[in-house]
Structures are given as C-alpha cells and as structure tokens.
C-alpha cells in the first residue's frame, strides 16, 4: 500500500515542504475521499489496474505496481457505519 | 524524499472519511440535532474538546435525550480522530442503562444503537466475529439498511461470502423498497461490500 502511495505522490510531484506540492497532496486526498477511495479500494486498484480511477487523476498516475509489490495493506482504513 | 509524514496525513484523511455516522434511523424529534453533531464531527477542523461541551449543551437545551447524548459522545470517542476505545466502551454501557431506564416506544431502536456501537468497537479492534454478534442483534432489533450493511461487512471480513449473499437475497424479499435502495447504494460504493456486487440489480 505504501509503495503505491509513494508512486502516486512521486508521480504528482509531491514533496513535503513545497506549497504547490502540499496543494497537490490535498487535491489527491480530496479526490480519494470524495470518490470514497478508501485504502482497501486503492489496494484493489493497485492489484487490478486503474480502470476505475477518475480520468483526471488516472492521467497523472504511473502504472500500478505488480501484485507482488503490494503487500502492506495493514494500514487500510476500516470502513464502518456507526450511526447514532 | 521523506514520505512518512505525507503517508500519515493521507491515511488519516482517508480513515476519517471511512467512518460513517448516519442519523436516518434516529427518532425524528432528535434527528436534526444528531445530524448537526455528525456534520461537526466530520468537519476538517473538528476539535473533540469543543465538540463534547456543545453536545452536552444540546442535551441541556432539550434537543436530545440522555440516550442520544451518550450515543453522540460514544460516536465521537470511537471516531478515527479520537480513537478512545475505553471511553467509547464505557459510554456504550452507560447508553444501554439510560435506554433501559427511559424505556418507551423507542427502546428497541435505542438498544439497537448500543448494539451497533459495540459492534463497531469490536470491528475497529479487529474482532469481526464479535462484531457480527452485535451487528446481528442490532439488526434483529431494528431493520435498517445500515444494520444490514454492517452485518454484511462483518461476514465478508470473516470470509463468509455465501452467507452474505444469502442474507442479501433475503433482504431483497423482506426489506422495504427504500431500504433495499439504500443498501444497494452502499454496496455500489462501499469497497468492503464490493464482493456482493453482481450483474443483477437488487
């Protein structure tokens, strides 16, 4: 999972200390969140390809890593409904 | 390039968006207040230290009863940004007692809320079979799309795909059309329920 995120960040030119890159990072998070792209779904995408990814984001991404490169999914978000 | 802080921020943002707090099944008299709480909980600048007194104020103003006060405080404690599990568990227990003392026509719904909260705690701590027990009890008490969705999510986590599909088929026959539509939307958008997507509409 982190390997894939690293690829995405690098592909988008994100670095920790640059304002423009911070904006890029925020845009990425917004895209992921608005489209309900949880970590699990990103991991699925990483394994299966990025056909489902929004075109605006997909055009900025490198090819997904090979399946054997994506091994760390323990940091996945747990998506659950805790209604009142 | 040091990506560790970026990872943390991104994963934190994604985690926070993966935690849902619908108020659709809440008593209509208290629903708007609970929706306001949910909205504030999910605000980017949410501060639990400020949110809790505001929730208490809603209770003092009579907009929410004690059961919903404790439910809201639990939902805050169990949220990814706070993740205070012992406090969340304590509040669920207190909510159960408050529901029993209140009684009345909303007893089943109030106890279903407690079951759901306990299930979420177990789910978030990785005890999916325990979570399934609580979610099933919540569904028995209150038949809502949210409770069905949580049962299905727990079953899929446990690898019980066939059983999840059977429940889904049963839901098609027994739940109201609006609930089936709600559940269908959840399955279409929730990656945890992706295994239940099929060529046939619900």
ipTM of the assembly? 0.83
Residue A45 has pLDDT above 70, yes or no: no
- Minimum CA–CA partner of B193 in chain A: A79
What is the mean predicted confidence (pLDDT) over B155-175? 86
Distance CA B199, CA A34 (A): 25
Contact list, B75 vs chain A (CB under 8 Å): 82, 84
Distance CA B18, CA B150 (A): 13
Write down the pLDDT at residue A36. 44
**Are the C-beta atoms of B62 and B90 separated by less than 8 Å?**
no
What is the mean predicted confidence (pLDDT) over A19-34? 49
Band of the pLDDT at B57, cuts 50, 70, 90?
very high
Q: Do A5 and B7 touch (CB under 8 A)?
A: yes
Interacting residues of B121 by C-beta distance below 8 A, sequence separation 6+: B78, B85, B88, B89, B92
A14 touches chain B (CB under 8 A): yes
Residue B93 has pLDDT above 90, yes or no: yes
Q: In whole angstroms, how far apart are CA B65 and each of B37, B78, B102, B164? A: 14, 20, 9, 35
A interface test, pick of B6, B34, B76 with most A CB neighbours within 10 Å: B6
Band of the pLDDT at B133, cuts 50, 70, 90?
very high
Query: Percent of chain A scored above 90 by pLDDT?
Result: 4
- Minimum CA–CA partner of A40 in chain B: B191
Q: Compute the nearest-CA separation of B173 from chain A (Å).
A: 23
Q: In whole angstroms, how far apart are CA B201 and each of B105, B173, B180, B183? A: 35, 13, 10, 11
Write down the pLDDT at residue B7. 53
What is the mean predicted confidence (pLDDT) over B6-29? 74
Q: Do B25 and A44 touch (CB under 8 A)?
A: no
Distance CA B115, CA B121 (A): 10
Distance CA A70, CA A65 (A): 7
Write down the pLDDT at residue B3. 46
Write down the pLDDT at residue B173. 82
Q: Do B6 and A82 touch (CB under 8 A)?
A: no
Nearest to A40 among B19, B75, B192 (CB): B192
Residue A17 has pLDDT above 50, yes or no: no
């Amino acid at each position: 999972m982190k390997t894939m995120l690293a690829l995405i960040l690098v592909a988008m030119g994100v670095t920790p200390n640059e304002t423009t890159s911070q904006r890029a990072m925020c845009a990425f998070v917004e895209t992921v969140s608005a489209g309900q792209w949880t970590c699990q779904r990103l991991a699925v995408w990483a394994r299966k390809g990025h056909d489902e990814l929004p075109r605006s984001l997909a055009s900025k991404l490198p090819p997904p890593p090979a399946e054997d490169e994506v091994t760390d999914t323990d940091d996945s978000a747990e998506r659950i409904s805790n209604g009142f | 390039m040091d990506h560790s802080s970026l990872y943390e921020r991104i994963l934190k943002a994604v985690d926070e968006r993966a935690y849902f707090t619908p108020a659709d099944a809440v008593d209509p008299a208290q629903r708007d207040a609970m929706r306001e709480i949910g909205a504030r909980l999910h605000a980017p600048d949410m501060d639990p230290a400020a949110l809790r007194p505001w929730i208490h104020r809603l209770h003092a103003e009579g907009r929410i009863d004690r059961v919903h006060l404790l439910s809201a405080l639990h939902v805050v404690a169990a949220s990814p940004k706070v993740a205070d599990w012992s406090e969340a568990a304590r509040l669920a227990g207190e909510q159960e007692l408050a529901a029993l003392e209140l009684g009345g026509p909303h007893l089943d719904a109030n106890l279903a809320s407690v079951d759901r909260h306990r299930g979420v705690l177990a789910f978030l701590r990785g005890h999916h079979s325990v979570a399934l027990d609580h979610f099933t009890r919540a569904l028995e008490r209150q038949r809502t799309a949210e409770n069905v969705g949580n049962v299905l999510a727990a079953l899929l986590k446990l690898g019980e795909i066939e059983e999840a599909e059977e429940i889904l088929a049963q839901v098609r026959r027994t739940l109201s059309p609006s609930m089936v539509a709600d559940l269908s939307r959840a399955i279409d958008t929730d990656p945890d329920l992706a295994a239940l997507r099929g060529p046939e509409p619900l």
